[in-house]
């Protein structure tokens, strides 16, 4: 029983921590007509003729028509999120219809472009592309694993010769984690999913930055690796804690992620320029794609037909990049293994 209470406390603690409102207003949600619609909707549970099941609360905030076992605090919170999300969406659709009739251009609501929902999925294109990236990361990881353990020769202690094996395994897990949460966040973005998505992204970019330095500078001994990784891990952890528990600052996060991303592209660019690695052209190609995808992340435009915006295209651009990345990693594992074996002969 105590254990149950403990779990519930932790869940509640996380729910309240993640619920601190911190998103800055954008043009659409600062609009008085939209604000009036939202206020009305949260009271009545309806926008025009459309009414929402999730918005049925009694005066003390408890749901009217749910059995007692569903009236958990966390469940209520979820219902409130759903109610707010439905109200925001339908008020936005109504307002955007009016704006379009008057010849206005789409504006952002709560930091997001007005997207068309498909089966309650907020940004179907970004979700689909994230899911493909997730599958490709998994495929890349599995093929890397098979290559190392079943195709390439192993050391006498049955471990692979490739010195970066463990690092790429961690990378694969962080990448799959990121694409999973990215798909979840673009399906339904509430503070909680948004924060998990941002944290996963920072963790992935931070770790790939460490991996970039270690691989490009051929850092192989344990002590030097710790010296490189420790300050970066400390920085990335602090940034994640800042985003989650102090302020979900999109601008600051963009600067942190972009600087780590650009630094990686620069290091790989220089590396590919000086190395005689047989697969350096893949790094060049990856860098060109990486720069183009960064442009999409910075250059923002409203969604075409309510579906494809710059960010969704950024997700699409990541699909070939994920494939290229793992293709290089497999080549690198093979190249390093053969180099080491030749040295030993």
Binding site for Zn ion (CB under 5 A): 182
> At closest approach, how far in Å is the CB of 123 from Zn ion?
8
> At closest approach, how far in Å is the CB of 315 from Zn ion?
6
Q: What residues contact residue 63 under an 8 Å CB cut-off, 6+ apart?
A: 56, 57, 70, 71, 76, 79
Query: For the stretch 280-307, what's the b/e string if a residue is b when 16 or more beta carbons lie within 10 angstroms of its beta carbon?
Result: bebbebbbebbeebbebbeeeeebeebe
> At closest approach, how far in Å is the CB of 243 from Zn ion?
15
Residue number with CB closer to Zn ion (168 or 179): 179
Phi, psi dihedral angles at 109 (to 5 degrees): -120, 125
With H, G, I as helix, E, B as strand and everything else as coil, classify residue 47.
strand
Residue number with CB closer to Zn ion (87 or 203): 203
Residue number with CB closer to Zn ion (182 or 264): 182
Residue number with CB closer to Zn ion (182 or 337): 182
Strand 46-47, strand 50-51: pairing = antiparallel
How close are the terminal C-alpha atoms of the chain, in Å? 64
> At closest approach, how far in Å is the CB of 83 from Zn ion?
25
- Output the six-digit token pair for 315: 């997700």
Helix, strand, coil content of the chain in percent (nearest 5): 70, 5, 25
- Closest CA relative to residue 306, chosen from 36, 109, 42, 45: 109
> At closest approach, how far in Å is the CB of 118 from Zn ion?
16
CA atoms within 13 A on the CB side of 108: 12
Cα angle at 275 between 316 and 162, to 5 degrees? 75
Tracing tokens 């519930």 back to the chain, one arrives at 8
- Output the six-digit token pair for 45: 């549970």
> At closest approach, how far in Å is the CB of 209 from Zn ion?
19
Residue number with CB closer to Zn ion (182 or 193): 182
> At closest approach, how far in Å is the CB of 260 from Zn ion?
17
Residue number with CB closer to Zn ion (178 or 207): 178
Residue number with CB closer to Zn ion (172 or 185): 185
Position with the least CB separation from Zn ion: 182
Radius of gyration of the chain (CA): 24
Residue number with CB closer to Zn ion (163 or 189): 189
What letter would DSSP give residue 46?
Answer: E
> At closest approach, how far in Å is the CB of 32 from Zn ion?
30
């Amino acid at each position: 029983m105590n254990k149950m209470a403990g779990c519930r406390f932790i869940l509640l603690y996380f729910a309240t921590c993640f619920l601190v409102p911190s998103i800055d207003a954008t043009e659409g949600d600062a609009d008085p007509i939209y604000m009036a619609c939202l206020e009305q909707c949260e009271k009545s549970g309806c926008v025009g003729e459309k009414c929402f099941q999730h918005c049925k609360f009694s005066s003390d905030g408890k749901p009217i028509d749910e059995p007692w076992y569903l009236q958990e605090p966390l469940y209520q919170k979820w219902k409130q999120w759903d109610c707010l999300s439905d109200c925001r969406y339908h008020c936005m659709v109504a307002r955007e219809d009016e704006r379009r009739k008057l010849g206005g251009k789409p504006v952002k609501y709560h930091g997001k472009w007005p997207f068309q929902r498909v089966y309650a999925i907020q940004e179907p294109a970004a979700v689909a592309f994230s899911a493909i990236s997730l599958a490709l990361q998994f495929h890349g990881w599995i093929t890397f694993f098979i290559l190392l353990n079943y195709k390439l020769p192993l050391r006498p202690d049955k471990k692979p010769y490739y010195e970066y094996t463990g690092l790429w395994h961690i990378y694969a897990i962080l990448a799959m984690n990121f694409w999973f949460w990215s798909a979840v966040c673009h399906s339904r973005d509430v503070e909680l999913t948004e924060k998990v998505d941002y944290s996963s992204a920072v963790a992935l970019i931070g770790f790939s930055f460490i991996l970039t330095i270690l691989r490009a500078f051929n850092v192989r001994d344990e002590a030097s690796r710790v010296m490189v990784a420790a300050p970066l891990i400390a920085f990335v952890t602090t940034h994640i804690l800042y985003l989650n528990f102090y302020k979900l600052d999109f601008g600051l996060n963009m600067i942190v992620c972009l600087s780590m991303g650009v630094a990686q592209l620069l290091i790989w660019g220089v590396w590919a320029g000086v190395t005689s690695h047989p697969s350096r052209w893949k790094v060049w190609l990856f860098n060109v794609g990486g720069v183009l995808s960064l442009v999409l992340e910075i250059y923002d435009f409203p969604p075409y037909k309510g579906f494809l915006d710059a960010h969704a295209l950024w997700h699409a651009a990541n699909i070939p990049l994920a494939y290229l990345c793992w293709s290089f990693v497999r080549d690198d594992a093979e190249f390093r293994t053969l180099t080491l074996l030749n040295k030993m002969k």
